[in-house]
Structure 1
Amino acid sequence: MGRGRAKAKQAKVARDLKYYSPSTDFSALERELHGATQTREPEFVDDTDDDDDDDYGRWVTGRR
């Protein structure tokens, strides 16, 4: 019971999404496509060297 109400809500949400047209910021899109370096955030670099802590890794590579 109650399936009709849930189905009607899903249909309403689907209809809203289908006909929703957000305003497009073309200047932001252009900056992104041209690779503007001013807006990029620095990438995360994992500089931890886990190989030195692994005893099994030394056995595999032959280091002692």
Structure 2
Amino acid sequence: MGRGRAKAKQTKVARDLKYRTYDPDFSALQKELHGDEDDGDDDDGDDYR
């Protein structure tokens, strides 16, 4: 009981994702997938490698 509002929200989000038109930023996606960083600072705080 009381699931109507939550289901409506999920339906709205799913519909927005399905029918939304957008221009994907493939260059940013490629950088993210290949692990390229803009600043070049590879210090992750681990001094024991």
Name the one with the larger helix percent.
Answer: 1
Normalising by structure 1, we get a TM-score of 0.41
TM-score, structure 2 normalization: 0.46
Rg larger in structure: 1
Taking CA–CA contacts closer than 8 Å with sequence separation of 6 or more, which of the two structures ends up with the larger relative contact order? Answer: 2
